[in-house]
Chains A and B, each alone.
Chain A
Amino acid sequence: MHTAADTHDEGKGQYFWVWGALLLLTAVEVVLAYRQVFQPVQMLEALMILSIIKSALIIGWFMHLKYEIAAMKWVMMVAVSICLCLMCVFFADAFRIIHLGVK
């Protein structure tokens, strides 16, 4: 079956650029963490933002989702994003514990 992802430009160069960007972002993460630039909660936020950017590069280019049709992109990404966001509800309790203690 000829699919949407099969028809895109097959240039290898873009994958080397994505690989280089991923390595660079990893290096930034290591420097941020090793120099302890932020407090733990801000550090967690900064590292997660960088990780989400890295994920977008991997999903978009390496997993070829960028080249799939819009229905595939939206159904897959919206579904998993909503489920993961729902899990964030527990963080309120984690912050409560660290600020108020276990009561």
Chain B
Amino acid sequence: MADIAVQHGMAGAYEPSLFGTYSKKIGMWLFLLSDTLTFGALLFAYSYGRISNPDWPTPFHKESIVNATIMTGCLLSSSLTMVLGVLAARRGDRAWTRNWVLFTMLFGSAFVVLHGMEWSKLIEEGMTPFKNPWAANVPQFGGTFFTLTGMHMLHVTIGVIYLGVIALRKAFLPILLAIWAIVFFATPADNVFHTGVHVLLVGLVVAAVILFLKPKDYDAHDVEISGLYWHFVDLVWMFIFPLVYLMSTRVQG
């Protein structure tokens, strides 16, 4: 394709990038901008409901706030380990690149587990996407909460799989399959994790297709753009945490 462009005198095809960087990074930034609008719409919908309903439920007592604060700490720490991984990749230090990315995955997995436990607790208390036990006249609380936090948890899970592919390549596939099998068979059928773990199975199929159809040794640029995605999920949580949890704290009772 590039040769054809030259033959036809399209010199502009080889102009330097307007943004002074490589195309994969620009592609990831553009994807993240579009994803910002997706989360922006969800966050604005939640805020609209929160402002316009004086009876908006406040179900998050001390235990939930502590849990969500630890989750926030996990994501912030994962961003630190990710940026250290990017620096290691730029230095050409493959061992530490892998180690820092694995630490990032560990923090991300801790976030997903803690969030899943929080969901389980709320579901046990009677919350569904269509009703909640705290404010019968505000049925949209459950729907907006599960949509917003579920969308974010999906992004974190995809991020962990993405980083696993970057750090371990094909060696990550059997690990992913083992985690899926352990969680699926070890949890009861009505558990949040029993259903949610199927995201790993879908991720496994997609990762296998990518790794087998286009096998490659991921370089510093690949680590950097995976880092951009990871920092973005951290960034989104910086709005979800105050808006969903801190705006609905139950100080008494």
Contacts and interface: CB of A to CB of B under 8 A. Distances in A.
Judge: A and B partners, yes or no. Answer: yes
Contacts of A19: 76-77, 79-80
Nearest to B62: A34
A97 B234 contact: no
A64 B36 CA distance: 17
A87 B80 contact: no
Interface residue SS majority, chain A = helix
Give the interface centre of B18, B21, B26, B73 by most chain A CB atoms within 10 Å. Answer: B21
Contacts of B50: 40, 44
Interface residues of A, number: 54
B247 interface: yes
Interface in B35-94: 36-37, 40-41, 44, 47-54, 62, 65, 69, 72-73, 76-77, 79-80, 82-84, 87, 90-91
Interface string A8-44: 0010100110010011001001101110100011011
A34 B50 CA distance: 17
Interface of A: 1, 3-6, 10, 12, 15-16, 19, 22-23, 26, 29-30, 32-34, 36, 40-41, 43-44, 47-48, 50-51, 54-55, 58-59, 61-64, 68-69, 71-72, 75-76, 79-80, 83-84, 87-88, 90-91, 93-95, 97-98
